[in-house]
A and B are shown apart, each in its own frame.
Chain A
Amino acid sequence: MLNQFFHDPLSLGVAQAIVATVMALVVMLIAHFARIHLEREILIALARAFVQVLAVGSVLLLIFEGPVVVGFLILGLMMLLAAQTASRRAQGMPQAFRVSLTGIVLGAGPVIVLMAWMGVIDTKLTVLIPVGSMIVANSMTTTSLALDRFRGEISSHVGHIDAALALGATPKAAVAPYTRAAVRASLIPRIDSLSSLGIVWIPGVMTGMLLAGSQPIDAALYQFVVMAMIFTVSGLASLISASLMSARVFSPAEQLVLRTGKGKR
Chain B
Amino acid sequence: MPEITESRPQTDAPPVLETRHLRREVGGAVLVDDVTITVTQGEVVTIVGPSGAGKSSLLRLLNRLDEPSSGEIFLDGQDYRSIPPQALRRRAGMLMQLAYLFPGTVNDNIRFGPRQQGKDLTAAEIEDLLARVGLSNFGGRDVAKLSGGEAQRVALARTLANDPELLLLDEPTSALDESAKAEVETLLVEIMHERGLTCLWVTHDLAQAERMATRIMLMEKGKIVHTDLSKEEIHAQSVLS
In whole Å, how far is B158's beta carbon from the nearest beta carbon of chain A? Answer: 7
Within residues 215 to 265 of chain A, which ones have a CB less than 8 A from any CB in chain B? 251, 253-256, 265
| Residue-wise interface mask of A (78-116) relative to B, using a CB-CB cutoff of 8 A (1 in contact, 0 not) | 000000000000000000000000000000000000000
Q: Name the distance in Å between B236's Cβ and chain A's nearest Cβ.
A: 33
> Given A168-B113, A169-B86, A265-B66, A162 and B26 touching (CB < 8 A)?
no
Q: Which residues of B contact A251 (CB under 8 A)?
A: 67
Q: Is B89's CB under 8 angstroms from A162's CB?
A: no
| Chain B nearest CB, measured from A20 CB (Å) | 46
Asked if B85 is at the interface (CB within 8 A of a chain A CB), the reply is yes
B126 CB to nearest chain A CB (Å): 15
Chain A positions within 8 Å of B155 at CB level: 163
Q: Write the chain A residue with the least CB distance to B93.
A: A166
- A173 adjacent to chain B (CB < 8 Å): yes
- B57 sits at the interface (CB 8 A): yes
CB atoms of B100 and A162 under 8 A apart: yes
CB distance from B144 to the nearest CB of A (A): 13
Q: Which residues of B contact A165 (CB under 8 A)?
A: 65, 85, 89
User: Does A203 make an interface contact (CB < 8 A)?
Assistant: no
Chain B 83-95 against A: per-residue CB contact (8 Å), 1 yes, 0 no? Answer: 0011101100110
What are the interface flags for A125-167 relative to B under an 8 Å C-beta threshold, 1 for contact and 0 otherwise?
0000000000000000000000000000000000110111111
Tell me whether A159 and B96 are in contact (CB under 8 A).
yes
Tell whether A168 pairs with B100 under 8 Å between CB atoms, given A173-B116, A255-B65, A265-B31.
Answer: no
Least distance between B163 CB and chain A CB atoms (Å):
11
* A170 and B86 contacting across the interface, CB-CB below 8 Å: yes
A160 to B98 Cα, complex, angstroms: 10
If A163-B96, A173-B116, A255-B64 touch, whether A168 touches B102 (CB-CB below 8 Å) is no
Residues from chain B with a CB closer than 8 A to the CB of A253 are 64, 67, 85
| Cα-based distance from A251 to B81 in the complex (angstroms) | 14
Q: Nearest chain A CB to B216's CB is how many angstroms away? A: 24
Known A-B contacts A162-B100, A265-B26; the reply to A168 vs B65 at CB < 8 A is no
B229 to chain A, nearest CB (A): 27
* A177 cross-chain contacts in B, Cβ below 8 A: 102-103
**How far is B98's CA from A159's CA once the two chains are assembled, in angstroms?**
8
Bound: A254/B112 CA distance, A: 18
Q: Among residues 74 to 126 in chain B, which have CB atoms less than 8 Å away from a CB atom of chain A?
A: 85-87, 89-90, 93-94, 96, 98, 100, 102-103, 112-113, 116-117
Instruction: Encode A3-31 as 1/0 by CB contact (under 8 A) with B.
Output: 00000000000000000000000000000
Question: CB-CB < 8 A to B31: which residues of A?
Answer: 265
Say whether, besides A159-B98, A254-B85, A166 and B65 are in contact (CB < 8 Å): yes
Report yes or no: B26 in contact with A170, Cβ–Cβ below 8 A.
no
Q: Is B227 an interface residue (CB 8 A)?
A: no
A170 with B116, Cβ < 8 A, contacts A159-B98, A159-B100, A254-B86 known: yes
Most chain A CB within 10 A, of B26, B31, B89, is at B89
How many angstroms between the C-alpha atoms of A242 and B85 in the bound complex? 23
B63 interfacial by beta-carbon distance below 8 Å: yes
Is B162 a contact partner of A167 (Cβ separation < 8 A)? yes
Q: Is B40 an interface residue (CB 8 A)?
A: no
- Which of B26, B64, B98, B116 is close to A167, meaning CB atoms less than 8 Å apart? B116
The CB with the most chain A CB atoms within 10 A, among B65, B67, B113, is that of B65
Instruction: With CB as the reference atom, state the residue of chain B lying closest to A167.
Output: B113
30 cross-chain CB contacts under 8 A:
A159-B96, A160-B100, A162-B65, A162-B100, A163-B96, A163-B102, A164-B102, A165-B85, A166-B89, A166-B96, A167-B93, A167-B116, A167-B158, A168-B86, A168-B87, A168-B89, A168-B90, A168-B162, A169-B112, A170-B116, A173-B116, A177-B102, A177-B103, A251-B67, A253-B85, A254-B64, A254-B85, A255-B67, A256-B65, A265-B57
Beyond contacts A163-B100, A166-B63, A166-B94: 14 other A-B pairs, Cβ-Cβ < 8 A, are A163-B155, A164-B112, A165-B89, A166-B96, A167-B159, A168-B90, A168-B116, A170-B116, A254-B64, A254-B86, A255-B67, A255-B85, A256-B65, A265-B26
Residues of chain A touching chain B, judged by Cβ–Cβ distance below 8 Å, are 159-160, 162-170, 173, 177, 251, 253-256, 265
Task: Give the interface of B toward A (CB within 8 A).
Answer: 26, 31, 57, 60, 63-67, 85-87, 89-90, 93-94, 96, 98, 100, 102-103, 112-113, 116-117, 155, 158-159, 162
